[in-house]
A and B are shown apart, each in its own frame.
Chain A
Amino acid sequence: MPKIKVLLVEDSAVAINIYEKMLNSSRHIEVVGKAANGKEGLDLALKLKPDVICTDLQMPQMDGIEFTKQVMAQYPTPILVLSNSVQKTDTERIYEAMQAGAVDVMAKPQTALGGNSESMQNELIVKIRVLSTKKVSLIPLK
């Protein structure tokens, strides 16, 4: 079975590093690309054709919502939104992301001082494995 190709779109280098560590622990998943904003992410998505995309919402240049819209219009891929999700504005934006075509949302995993936190890791891996089996259809831009 080929590995699930995952693209990470996230402006925080810390977060990217954590995701990568978590995902690389699974033999089913391979992180194929990392982008610091939606714009870069879109380029990479079209180029790398990942199976699943994990994206942050708040990013410079192109945020997660616009990114989701663009991906769904150009290269429909299951998108998992990883959100900070502590503030009310975040919830609103998550609904917006879902509307734009994101399949699932998850809180950014918490670790104990960057150490291993297995439950979070498992949750992320499971979500990605589930998502990789989903078919998503094209949502044209309005």
Chain B
Amino acid sequence: MMIEDEELRLLYKTSSEEHLQKLESDLMILEKNPQDTAALEEFLREAHTLKGDSRMLGLDDIEMLVHHLEDSMEGIKAGQSEITPELCDRLYQGIDAINQLSRNAVTGESIEVNTSAVLAYLMGSSEQVPAMETSEADLFADDDDLFDTQSVLDDGEADLFDDPLADSEADLFGDDDDLFDTQSVPDDGEADLFDDDLSDNSAANLVENVPLVASPQVQISTPPSPPLVAAAGTERNYKIDTIRVEPQKLDALMTQASELTVTKLRISQQITEIEQILALWSGWGREDKTILSDIEQAVDPEVLLPLKQYLHSTEQRVNSLGNLIVNLRTRANEDINSLGIISDRLETGINGLRQLPLATVFNIYPRMVRDLARQQGKEIELIIEGGDTKADKQILEEIKDPLLHLIRNAIDHGIETPAERIAQGKSSTATLTLRGYQTGSSIGIEISDDGRGLNLDRISQTAIKRKVHTEAEISMMSEAEIQSLIFASGFSTRTEITELSGRGVGLDVVRANVERLKGAIQVTSVPGNGCKFQVRLNTSLATTKVLIVELVHTLYALPLEFIQTMITLTSQDIYEIEGKTTITFEDRPLSVTPLDRLLQLPRPETEEVKNYLSCIVLQVGSNRFGVIVDDLVDQQDVVLKPQSKLLKRVPNIAGATILGNGSVCMVLNPTDLIHSFRNGSWQNAVATVETAVAKNRLLLVEDSIIIRTQMQRLLKGAGYEVTIAENGLLGLQQVQNQGFDIILSDVEMPQMSGLEMTKAIRQNSNYDRLPIVLITTLASPEDKRRGKDAGANAYLTKGDFDQQLLFETLEQLIYVRN
């Protein structure tokens, strides 16, 4: 039975799911608060529409069942019956059956719902619902309508109906009076037979062979098999239909959006160029024009006229050029601003597209909790908070089962029966709280109950029995550590297998599922006073949370999921064990190493020693180690761009990302790092680094302390070994004392200027090949010529000082020298 027309099939799928969801939630409301007329009205409206749709599509079974739901509720509305838990049970079962039937109509999947039997079960409520009047006309149009309520119900009734009406077109238009005849259901508990062809065995079949969808054993939301597996198979298909875009496409959009950010930065750099043009232009306008009047006096004005005209028109053109540039700058500024705003909005917008409220998942639990509570005879109030917290669609879909399992566990293992609770002085109704909340850029989901809590002794015993840990190991453990043993593989404190929560396969699988979503799970429990599970998840799978660290003046990112903690060390904290630098962390020795050594990065040696060291404790699987970095910069969500496919494998690097300022940042791979840490004894690494990169020795001659400090830092960063001299004389002494690869000098200095020093150095033929770079504010061609005459190899002006140019010049000169 599948709807033939594809368009209608999709429409029906969406609308019926919606209607059923509402029916169920309305029923939940009504069960708690029978006076809620708004819910009652909505229930009726939803049922009515669903019935109409089903009827139009010829889905008779569904129509029949929905009709009955509607009827029951009409009876309640009319005050002819009351909402009882039993009635609700029946109605829920009816909704479940309809759910299955509609899935069959949409997917064509075969299902095992015996509509007649379900209907019979629903009819069990008939004594509360005498408002059956017109319904039988439609409901029992099938020829095998044979209902044995006794098979399902305890009340001992056996009502057998058959359709007394030949005309199943129960509509107004072909009507005769009997359509609206009352064919009320007998309420005297006797078996009524409306048809003769009833045979005993057909009734028996119904009971024995036909799996009743309504019976608790196959109750839809409580499969008896291990829940995590069974949930996917037998439970109603959980889907969020609002998004119809493949997530990959959104990811691609995300990547593009971040590229846009980079482009935006590059465009704003062009503003700087425009500013330069503008500066050039305004300088041009101010140029000295007296030269013309000087010539005018010397030359015949007549001869000069064409030249004057030419100059005049040039002047005008320069002016209009200037205006154009000014306009260009204004417009470019505006455009960059709006581009910035738009690209920001795009990025957040695309991010938001994948996000849905947690309520989409939370909504499915109330029903389950209710059913479980009833089956186990427990009284539970489920409190849901923070359903509007948003998370990635995929996270929502995948967190559904782990949460389901945790809730089940809480009900099955945690929450006591009312009697037990009263004996312990608790209120008979247990509280189960499901709470979603946002913390920074991650979300948390908490499931807490006020049940019996975790039993530490039992956990310890089980862990020993299952050989998860030895007794000695456990005696060393803290309470929290023992509690978290329940997440260990194959661990369950419950010896018998209960029908409901499966076989305790749960918690290790739950943990694995949560970790697959880059999340973490934690348990805290006060024995006798409940238990709280906290799940922490990223809101988005598209981005990775990283810690940005600085290392030798470069930023690197470390994925947060591997970072256990960050600590500050002083040099006293570090000692050696078996030749390894070690610290004491959480009362245990922990090996530490500078991250730059691990990455084999060259580090200038002259750097000052810090008073404290920033150490990041990384945890990869069960391995822990510390890495020391120069600085902790920031924590961010970044879009990880994998390496080019041309690169097969880059050790220690997981990929790259583009930071907010547009710079590229390498994302490190902690799994590789631990490998590097173990295999490459880092002392060797240091040795190779030293031989590989012999540093160039540079003499910096500069009298201004500010410029000197800045330059020194800059040059060290670029890998030079820097020696300082405060004036030309001292510089000359340094040159005579030790060998340098290059000299970088200011020109104007007390005692001896840069020019004098250069001349002095050049007088000694030993230093013929020693490159000297002069750097000065004196920028006239005359100055440059003088510098060159003195013997300098390059002459840079401070006005347009450009690091890049400086480094290039230095490198080039050193290269030429060698």
Contact = CB atoms under 8 A, between A and B. Distances in A.
Interface of A: 11-15, 17-18, 21, 56, 58, 60, 83-88, 90-91, 94, 105-115
A5 B172 CA distance: 27
A83 B53 CA distance: 11
Given A84-B52, A105-B172, A113-B59, A13 B11 contact: yes
A91 B49 CA distance: 16
Given A88-B180, A113-B2, A114-B8, A108 B56 contact: yes
Pick the most buried of A12, A13, A86: most chain B CB atoms within 10 A of its CB.
Answer: A86
A81 B11 CA distance: 22
B57 A85 contact: no
Pick the most buried of B48, B105, B171: most chain A CB atoms within 10 A of its CB.
Answer: B171
B716 interface: no
Pick the most buried of A13, A14, A18, A110: most chain B CB atoms within 10 A of its CB.
Answer: A14
B755 interface: no
B133 A84 contact: no
A114 B3 contact: yes
A77 B112 CA distance: 49
Contacts of A111: 56-58
Contacts of A112: 4, 58
Given A11-B49, A12-B15, A58-B45, A114 B57 contact: yes
Interface string B1-23: 11111011101101100000000
5 contacts: A14-B11, A18-B57, A86-B171, A88-B134, A111-B58
A37 B419 CA distance: 52
A114 B172 contact: no
Interface of B: 1-5, 7-9, 11-12, 14-15, 45, 48-49, 51-53, 55-59, 67, 70, 74, 105, 133-134, 138, 170-173, 180
Contact of B172 (A14, A85, A113, A115): A85
B172 A107 contact: yes
B57 A14 contact: yes
Contacts of A86: 51, 55, 67, 134, 138, 170-171
A21 B11 CA distance: 14
Pick the most buried of B11, B59, B138, B170: most chain A CB atoms within 10 A of its CB.
Answer: B11
A100 B48 CA distance: 23
Nearest to B3: A114
A113 to B, nearest CB: 5
A58 B49 contact: yes
Contacts of B1: 113
A113 B105 contact: yes
A116 B335 CA distance: 57
A110 B58 contact: yes
Contact of A88 (B15, B58, B67, B133): B133
B3 A106 contact: no
Contacts of A106: 173
B133 A107 contact: no
B16 to A, nearest CB: 9
A115 B55 CA distance: 13
Given A85-B171, A87-B74, A106-B173, 8 more contacts: A18-B57, A60-B45, A108-B55, A111-B57, A112-B58, A114-B9, A114-B57, A115-B5
A15 B57 CA distance: 9
Contacts of A113: 1-4, 57-59, 105
B15 A91 contact: no
Contacts of B15: 12-14
Q: Is the interface of A mostly helix, strand, loop or mixed?
A: loop
A85 B52 CA distance: 9
A17 to B, nearest CB: 6
B401 to A, nearest CB: 31
Given A14-B11, A58-B48, A113-B105, A107 B171 contact: yes
A110 B49 contact: no
Contact of A14 (B53, B67, B180): B53
A103 to B, nearest CB: 14
A108 B52 contact: yes
Contacts of B12: 14, 114
B102 to A, nearest CB: 11
B58 A14 contact: no
A13 B67 CA distance: 20
A103 B533 CA distance: 63
B8 A18 contact: yes
B58 A105 contact: no
Contacts of B14: 13
A84 B172 CA distance: 9
B78 to A, nearest CB: 10
Contact of A114 (B5, B51, B134, B170): B5
Contacts of A83: 172
Contacts of A110: 55-56, 58
Given A14-B15, A105-B172, A107-B171, A87 B56 contact: no
A106 B9 CA distance: 24
A56 B105 CA distance: 24
Q: Please provide the 6 A-B residue pairs with the shortest distance between their CB atoms, ordered closest to farther.
A: A114-B8, A114-B5, A107-B171, A14-B53, A114-B3, A115-B4
A21 B57 CA distance: 13
Contacts of B52: 12, 15, 56, 84, 108
Contacts of A58: 45, 48-49
A87 B47 CA distance: 13
A10 to B, nearest CB: 9
Pick the most buried of A108, A112, A114: most chain B CB atoms within 10 A of its CB.
Answer: A114
Contacts of A12: 15, 49, 52-53
B457 to A, nearest CB: 58
A14 B173 contact: no
A90 B11 contact: no
B268 to A, nearest CB: 48
Pick the most buried of B1, B56, B170: most chain A CB atoms within 10 A of its CB.
Answer: B56
Nearest to B2: A113
A17 B180 CA distance: 30
A88 B132 CA distance: 11
Contacts of A107: 171-173
B171 A14 contact: no
A86 B57 CA distance: 15
Pick the most buried of A12, A21, A91, A94: most chain B CB atoms within 10 A of its CB.
Answer: A12
